[in-house]
């Protein structure tokens, strides 16, 4: 799990982080890291990969704006429809606004409750997330984990990885989603023998290939998506298939 905290009160921010660390350690729940932010632009500038492993604890009231947290949540949701968002605030009367902003928050945690109940509500949320993650987790997952990107996706959902030569930006194109992240194709190619480098800009999942068009030098996938294949790679791919 990748946990992000947006809280402009440093004392509240560090208390929340401390509670989360204690809960994670007590339950032996794995997490990549807990990142803290005091300003919305800091958090938004660090949005990288997507998925249900990304958890955001957002304060609603930031720097005098009593709804800034909702605006940040909306931007997170536009970037990542699978992210888990939890609001932490003293303004419980703002709860109905989560529906207005259409951010699908998991919970609304009151800061002004006693420490025991506050921590228990945090643990209940994390337990729900961990249980749901384990229920939904297929056995055959592709997992990518670096300091700049972390996600898991069913391998059967992957069509291909695409990059622009000379850059480190990669787009994973799947049956049901697209994930943008930072990395290198040559590193990903070594992660699973079902991945084939068909072109300098493409790495394909051979299990989802429907056919190869040798005239146009394109690969056609099961959902009729296409990507390029170098002419010199056609023979090698056909032999694998």
pLDDT at 103: 66
Q: Residues 6 or more apart from 234 whose CB is under 8 A from it?
A: 212, 214, 217
Domains of the chain: 2-136 (3.40.50.2300), 144-240 (2.40.50.1020)
Q: Is residue 2 within 8 Å of 150, Cβ to Cβ?
A: yes
Look at residue 98 in the predicted model and tell me its pLDDT. Answer: 53
Q: How far apart are CA 151 and CA 117, in angstroms?
A: 31
Q: Please say whether the dihedral angle defined by the alpha carbons of residues 207, 209, 214 and 218, taken in this order, is positive or negative.
A: negative
The Cα 2–Cα 133 span in angstroms is 13
Alpha helices, DSSP H only, in the chain? 10-27, 40-45, 68-79, 97-100, 115-136, 185-189, 234-240
pTM of the model: 0.58
Write out the chain's pLDDT in tens, 241 residues. 789 999 989 999 999 999 999 999 999 887 667 899 998 888 988 876 555 568 999 988 877 555 688 888 888 888 887 789 998 887 665 555 555 555 678 888 988 889 999 999 999 999 988 887 665 555 578 888 777 777 778 888 999 999 977 788 899 999 888 888 888 899 999 998 899 999 999 999 999 999 999 999 999 999 999 999 999 999 999 988 8
């Amino acid at each position: 799990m990748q946990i992000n905290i947006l809280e402009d009160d440093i004392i509240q921010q560090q208390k929340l982080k401390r509670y989360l660390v204690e809960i994670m350690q007590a339950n032996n729940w794995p997490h990549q890291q807990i990142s803290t932010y005091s300003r919305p632009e800091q958090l938004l500038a660090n949005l990288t990969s997507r998925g249900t492993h990304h958890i955001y604890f957002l304060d609603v009231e930031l720097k005098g704006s009593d709804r800034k947290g909702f605006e940040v949540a909306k931007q997170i949701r536009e970037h990542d429809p699978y992210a888990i968002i939890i609001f932490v605030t003293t303004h419980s009367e703002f709860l109905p606004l989560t529906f207005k902003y259409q951010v699908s928050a998991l919970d609304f945690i009151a800061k002004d409750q006693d420490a025991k109940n506050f921590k228990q509500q945090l643990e209940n949320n994390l337990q729900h997330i961990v249980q749901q993650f384990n229920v939904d987790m297929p056995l055959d997952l592709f997992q990518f984990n670096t300091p700049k990107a972390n996600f898991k996706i069913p391998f059967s959902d992957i069509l291909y990885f695409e990059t622009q030569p000379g850059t480190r930006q990669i787009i994973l194109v799947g049956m049901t989603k697209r994930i943008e992240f930072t990395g290198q194709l040559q590193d990903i190619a070594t992660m699973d023998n079902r991945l084939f480098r068909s072109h300098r800009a493409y790495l394909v999942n051979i299990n989802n290939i429907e056919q190869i068009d040798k005239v146009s030098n394109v690969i056609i996938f099961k959902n009729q998506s296409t990507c390029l294949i170098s002419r010199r790679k056609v023979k090698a791919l056909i032999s694998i298939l």
